[in-house]
Chain A
Amino acid sequence: DTAVSQTPKYLVTQMGNDKSIKCEQNLGHDTMYWYKQDSKKFLKIMFSYNNKELIINETVPNRFSPKSPDKAHLNLHINSLELGDSAVYFCASRGLAAREQYFGPGTRLTVT
């Protein structure tokens, strides 16, 4: 009965590879987010989708491309991975009338 789930939990890959992280929420929420948490625990929003439409697109390299096939899923594809992409990536969701966000468990990406 996990509310927001992410796969994989850990991802170790080499520079230059392309990888994807998947997120699913079963809360019926309309809005989903991707955040990046760096080694100093600073959490920064990357993207947000509302009902499959991109609504927030922060200053993120265009190697990062989110995709929302339906409002319950938001995936993150990263091309040409770089060392600086190593971080924990969190997916979150939010209901239309709510203010709080529900976070997934995170995906720890390590680029070697």
Chain B
Amino acid sequence: DQQVKQNSPSLSVQEGRISILNCDYTNSMFDYFLWYKKYPAEGPTFLISISSIKDKNEDGRFTVFLNKSAKHLSLHIVPSQPGDSAVYFCAAIVPTGGGNKLTFGTGTQLKVEL
């Protein structure tokens, strides 16, 4: 079963506008949420994260919003730039006694057009 879902496989946005990427989850034990960006032929790169005790975290052009009651989070990129074109993965962590294994969604391909 897919515990982390990204229902939009792709998104196209004009340069300078806001990009909004969405993610839903089903496991209420998830305590931490992260966003990764992936370019072709490269590994995922960590972007931003949020703890379940917060509802917003901002880092430069990137803001993540968390709505725990709806089990929904979103990544806002503003303004969008052509270099932001990549696949974006939402990931979540259930804190256990040891490792922090990531459970990923299926990704959203973002294309920022000139």
A and B from one assembly?
A: no
* Residues of A bordering B, CB below 8 Å: none
* Residues of B bordering A, CB below 8 Å: none
